[in-house]
Amino acid sequence: MDARTGLPVVGMVGGGQLARMTHQAAIALGQSLKVLAAAPDDGAALVAPDTEIGLHTDLDALRRFAKGCDVVTFDHEHVPTEYIRTLAAEGVKLFPGADALVAAQDKQVMRERLTELGAPIPRWAPVGTLADLVDFAQGETVIVKTARGGYDGRGVFVVSDPAEVVPMIDAGTRLIVEEKVDLVRELSALVARSPFGQVAAYPVVETVQCDGICVEVIAPAPGLSAERALEAQQLAIRIATELGVVGLLAVELFETPTGIIVNELAMRPHNSGHWTIEGARTSQFEQHLRAVLDYPMGDTTLTAPWVVMANVLGGPDGGISVDERIHHLFAEDPAAKIHLYGKKVRPGRKIGHVTAMGSDLAEVRARARRAAQWLEEGR
C-alpha cells in the first residue's frame, strides 16, 4: 500500500510503451505505477517517478523491486518462468502467474495447452530433429517457430526447404512446426480476467500485419458475423479461464475460409488493444490494472462506430523534426489522437501510434494511415 495515498501499488516489470501507457491509467485510479526499467531512458522511465533500474533477468533486482509492490505484473513476456515461480514461493503476488504466463512465453507449451483445451489451432508438432520436420512438412511449405523469445515477427520462419532450419536444430534451439494456414485475415480477441474470475471481453478487432509487425487495427473487425465474433470472444474467455490468466489476454486469431484458429497468446496490454484508449469506455491499460487489483472490470463499449489505430514507425533519417510533424498533423486533422512513446527515432522502430474514430470506415482508415504517415515521414 502507498502510505501517501492509502491505495495499492502495482509494479510492472519492463519499462516500454506498455508500462508508459499503464502509468497514465494508474494516475486516474489515484496511483502511480512502479516500474522496473532496463534503462533510465526507457519510455516508462521517462514519465513514471517510481522507477527502478534493473534487468528482468536479474532475480535480485526483481526481488528488490517486488518489495514495494502489492502486486507485480509485466510489460513483456521475457521474465524467466522460474524466477516468477521463485518470487511467488517467496510470497510475492504476481499476475499473470507462472502457470498461465508460460503459455504465452513458450510456444510449445502454448500449443500443448490449447491442444488439451480442444481449442482450434493449426496442425503442429515439436521439432527435435530434421526428420521430425521433414515428416511433418511432407514437401509443403511450413511455419517454423522458436519456442521461446519470439516477438513482432522475430522467431517465425516460413520454410519451404527443411534444410534451412538445420543450423537452429544443431544449435539446440527448441522449435515447433505448424502448417501454413490458408489465411483470410488476422483477428484479435482481447479479454481481461480478475482473480475473482470475472472476465470482460472487448469487441473483436481485425489486425493488419506487414512484415510480421502489426501496422493497423480496425475495431470492430469489418464484416465479421455476430456468430463468429461471439465465438472468438467465448474462445478467448475460455482460454483465459482454463489457463487461469489474471490481467489481459490477447488471443491472436487467423480467420480461414472455414473458421477461426488461434495463432498466438499474449498476457499483457497488447498492440491490438491500443485503440481502446480513446475507442472504448475503459482502456486496456485501466482494464489490466483493474484485473490485477481484483477490481470489477470496466465497460468495454466502443465510443464510436469505427476506431482505427495505426502504428507509427521511425521514418527515414533526416527531414523535419517530429515536433514539426506533430504541428502539420494537428493542422491537417484536429481529431487525430497521437501517442508517442518517448523513443528516439530509428528507421522501422515502433515510436508511437495514432487513433482515428468516426462513422465512415473508409474515411477513418484513411485518416489513421495519413496521420501515421505524417508522423513517420512529415508529409
Q: Can you give the binding site for its own copies, defined by CB under 8 A? A: 4-8, 20-21, 23-24, 26-32, 41, 45-49, 51, 200, 278, 281-282, 290, 294-299, 301, 303-304, 321-323, 326-327, 330-331, 334-335, 337-345, 352, 357
Collapsing DSSP to helix, strand or coil, 129 comes out as coil
CB of 230 to its own copies, least distance (A): 20
Q: Which is nearer to its own copies, 92 or 312 (CB)?
A: 312
Single-letter code of the amino acid located at 241: T
Separation CA 351–CA 344 (nearest Å): 8
Output the smallest distance, CB 14 to its own copies, in A.
17
CB nearer to its own copies: pick between 76 and 327: 327
Please identify, using beta-carbon distances, which residue of 268 and 337 lies nearer to its own copies.
Answer: 337
Q: Got the DSSP string for 82-128?
A: HHHHHHHHTT--BSS-HHHHHHHHBHHHHHHHHHHHT-----EEEES
Three-state SS for 290? helix
Nearer to its own copies, 29 or 109 (CB): 29
Least distance from its own copies to the Cβ atom of residue 358, Å: 10
Helix axes 81-89, 59-67, angle to 10 degrees: 40
Instruction: Give Cβ neighbours of residue 161 (< 8 Å, ≥ 6 apart).
Output: none
3 state DSSP class of 159: strand
CB nearer to its own copies: pick between 113 and 288 = 288
Specify the residue, 98 or 192, whose C-beta has the smaller distance to its own copies. 192
Cα(102)–Cα(106) distance, rounded to whole angstroms?
6
| Residues in the annotated binding site for ATP | 107, 145, 178-181, 186, 263-264
Contacts of residue 11, defined as CB under 8 A and 6 or more positions apart, other chains included, come to 33, 34, 35, 36, 65, 66, 68, 69, 71, 72, 73
Identify the three-state secondary structure at position 263: strand
Q: What is the closest distance, in whole angstroms, from the C-beta atom of residue 233 to its own copies in the complex?
A: 16
Least distance CB 376 / its own copies (angstroms): 14
Q: How far is the CB of 295 from its own copies (least distance, A)?
A: 5
CB nearer to its own copies: pick between 67 and 344: 344
Collapsed DSSP state (helix, strand, coil) of residue 305: coil
For the bound state, the minimum distance from the C-beta of residue 180 to its own copies, rounded and expressed in Å, comes to 39
In the bound state with its own copies, the residue whose beta carbon lies nearer, of 8 and 203, is 8
What's the min distance (Å) between Cβ of 101 and its own copies? 25
> How remote is the C-alpha of 259 from its chain's centroid?
23
Could you tell me the three cell numbers for 77? 513476456
Contacts 24+ apart (CB under 8 A), 325-330: 325/374, 325/375, 325/378, 326/375, 328/374, 328/378, 328/379, 329/354, 329/371, 329/374, 329/375
